[in-house]
């Protein structure tokens, strides 16, 4: 187990998002505990990936960070319905949530974008969400 500050701000936020999603009944009824920052090579579907993260200073406070996180809901259901349902559940669980972020204070957490589409292989349906968070040192 990591101690305070060991994850860094981005890792701490990713861990908080995973914990929030794993505690959300509407998400876990669809994916169980298959919510990852580092997914297995051959994941079982459906699943959720807390993926790409960008961060930059937020305002004049050097310790405040704006984080942009891409969360992907993936389904092999055979159509977009499951990906749509999972995307809606993830959005509801994260938008304006207030999870504890290790060694940081969460100022705001919002889902700013969501899209559902079929992947190029026509087998996989994806829901992509953009999450914006602002954190400060605690």
State the Cα–Cα distance between residues 90 and 108, nearest whole angstrom.
Answer: 17
Torsion of CA 49, 109, 30, 77, to 10 degrees: -60
Q: Does residue 22 register a pLDDT over 80?
A: yes
Above 50 in pLDDT, residue 2? no
Is domain 8-137 classified as CATH 2.40.110.10? no
Average pLDDT over residues 65-92: 96
User: 3-17, 42-56, 76-90, 99-113: which range is least confident on average?
Assistant: 3-17
Residue 80 phi, psi dihedral angles, 5° rounding: -80, -5
84: part of which helix (H) or strand (E)?
helix 81-94
Parallel, antiparallel or unpaired: strands 65-75 and 125-137:
antiparallel
CA atoms within 13 A on the CB side of 123: 2
Q: Which pLDDT score is estimated for 1?
A: 38
């Amino acid at each position: 187990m990591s101690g305070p500050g060991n994850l860094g701000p981005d890792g701490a936020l990713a861990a908080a998002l995973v914990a929030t999603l794993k505690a959300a009944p509407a998400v876990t009824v669809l994916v169980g505990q298959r919510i990852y920052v580092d997914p297995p090579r051959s994941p079982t579907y459906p699943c959720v990936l807390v993926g790409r993260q960008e961060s930059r200073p937020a305002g004049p406070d050097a310790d405040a960070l704006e984080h942009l996180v891409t969360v992907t809901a993936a389904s092999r259901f055979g159509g977009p319905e499951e990906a749509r349902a999972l995307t809606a559940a993830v959005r509801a669980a994260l938008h304006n949530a207030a999870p504890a972020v290790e060694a940081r204070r969460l100022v705001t957490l919002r889902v700013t974008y969501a899209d559902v589409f079929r992947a190029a292989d026509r087998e996989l349906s994806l829901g992509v969400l953009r999450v914006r968070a602002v954190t400060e040192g605690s």
